[in-house]
Amino acid sequence: MTKFTRRDFVKAVGAASALPLLGASAQAAEPFKVGFIFLGPVGDYGWTWAHDKGRREMEAALGGAVKTTYVENVKEDASAIPILRDLARQGNKLIFATSFGYMDQVLEVAKEFPDVKFEHCTGFKRAANVSTYNSRFHEGRAVTGTIAGKVSKSGVIGYLGSFKIPEVVMGVNAFTLAAQAVNPKIQTKLVMIDSWFDPAKETAATETLANLGCDVIATHTDSPAPLQFCQKKGIFGFGQGADMSKFAPKAHLTAIEDIWGPHYTARVKAAIAGTWKSEDFWDGIKEGAVKVSAYNASLAKDAQDAANKVIEGYKAGSYDVFTGPIYDQSGALKVKEGQKMGLGDLATIDWYVKGIQSA
């Protein structure tokens, strides 16, 4: 007979009240439940697709030890709150919120469920039970920017963005700085379409950039539609989130692939083992979280070499695209010669570098 404290009682009642929900699965070896909220549909073949691929890899790696639930098409507004709450009430002990716009909603729900662990992707606010995780996508953007700088004949390159948030701002900055490093005359035209996923508007925006003289266009939205337009128009682009070469075999120069599986597997393992702590993860090319796809066979050797140099530099820690001198659009010096921007500054960056034309 063991001692039965009040705390145990509370736990037992809590467990009993959870039983009807769990139903038949409430066995001794109950799997650890993990929830995900996704911004787009898992079939977007971009951002959400990559997260879902990570989820499936994690599930495969941990076998029967986990049970995952996901909710797709969750808007980045207050409607995310009841969805997060529901996931927590359904017994998910670790919940991944996979877009920037869920930041405050996650913190709010995390306060209500101190026993549930949350991980918020691309944000910068943490709590005892809220971690943040991000990828150094901008390293991939530095690689694609290098290629764009080499490939562009007009000297004008395009960047199709979604919203003015730090992830996109640092993306277009890295892309432009890297392109300018190989061709100082490069100008970048930036269009934000106020959406992550809208193939028709993405296509129209790409068309607009092409009409304004851009001959290489990078996308920071989620569908392969812009690449298909580049293919039709005979200009070049890059895959976003996944290798999209089959959508545009000629136009697709390379892609930045988001690899989330290892992070999800490690964090779920830590949560099961009880070693999960609130942390800020920011992995990149070196850790394998950001991968650059195979180059298009048509890409010239010197462009490939320049891109490889950037990749090797990131692996060795000897290269950083955000190394001064860096000027903003007005020409003011923001980062002094030889200095590097820290990840903390990047996480909240809201200014564009010189050479970007934005509205």
Among positions 191, 292, 349, 353, the unique one binding another protein when judged by CB under 8 A? 191
- Residue type at 312 in one-letter notation: E
- Residue type at 115 in one-letter notation: D
Closer to another protein at the Cβ: 31 or 199?
A: 199
246, with CB counted inside 10 A (0-12, 13-18, 19+), is exposed
Residue 194 interacting with another protein (CB under 8 A): yes
Count, residues near another protein per rule CB under 8 A: 43
Residue 211 interacting with another protein (CB under 8 A): yes
- The answer to whether 256 and 141 are in contact (CB under 8 A) is yes
Q: For 183-260, where are the alpha helices, taking DSSP H only?
A: 199-211, 225-233
Residue 359 interacting with another protein (CB under 8 A): yes
Give the shortest CB-246-to-another protein separation in angstroms: 6
Residue 200 interacting with another protein (CB under 8 A): yes
Range 245-274, binding another protein (CB under 8 A)? 246-248
Range 112-131, binding another protein (CB under 8 A)? none
Range 39-58, binding another protein (CB under 8 A)? 40-45, 49
Q: For 212-257, where are the alpha helices, taking DSSP H only?
A: 225-233
- Residue where the block lists tokens 């850790």: 287
Closer to another protein at the Cβ: 45 or 100?
A: 45
159 SS3 class: strand
Tokens of 159: 């960047």
Give the shortest CB-190-to-another protein separation in angstroms: 8
Residue 198 interacting with another protein (CB under 8 A): yes
Give CA–CA dist 303/316, Å, rounded.
20
Residue 203 interacting with another protein (CB under 8 A): yes
- For the CA atoms of the chain, what is the radius of gyration? 22
117 SS3 class: strand
Report the interface residues with another protein, using CB under 8 A.
40-45, 49, 73, 158, 164, 189-195, 197-205, 207-209, 211-212, 223-225, 228-229, 232, 246-248, 357-359
